[in-house]
Amino acid sequence: MELVIKIAAVGIIVAVLQQILSRSGRDEYAMLVVLAGLIAVVAMLIPELKDLYSSAVSVLGL
């Protein structure tokens, strides 16, 4: 549940920054903010996906 809240917080911050930058005419920076947010979320998910994969391997006995 904690991870979901962190991802939601990143999404809200990115959305607000993207809107502010787009409306001020800085679309390039807005796109960079979106990409940085996406990279941050993927970086948060990688350890969880690693644990999920390890659990699946141990359960399936592969």
pLDDT in tens, 21-34: 999 999 999 999 99
Q: What is the mean pLDDT of the chain?
A: 95
pLDDT at 44: 96
Axis crossing angle, helix 27-60 with helix 2-23, rounded to the nearest 10: 160
Inform me whether the pLDDT recorded for 62 exceeds 90: no
Three-state SS for 8-36 is HHHHHHHHHHHHHHHHCCCHHHHHHHHHH
pLDDT interval class at 61 (50, 70, 90): confident
Query: Counting every residue, how long is the chain?
Result: 62
pTM for the whole structure: 0.80
Q: Between vectors from CA 47 to CA 46 and to CA 53, what angle results, nearest 5°?
A: 90
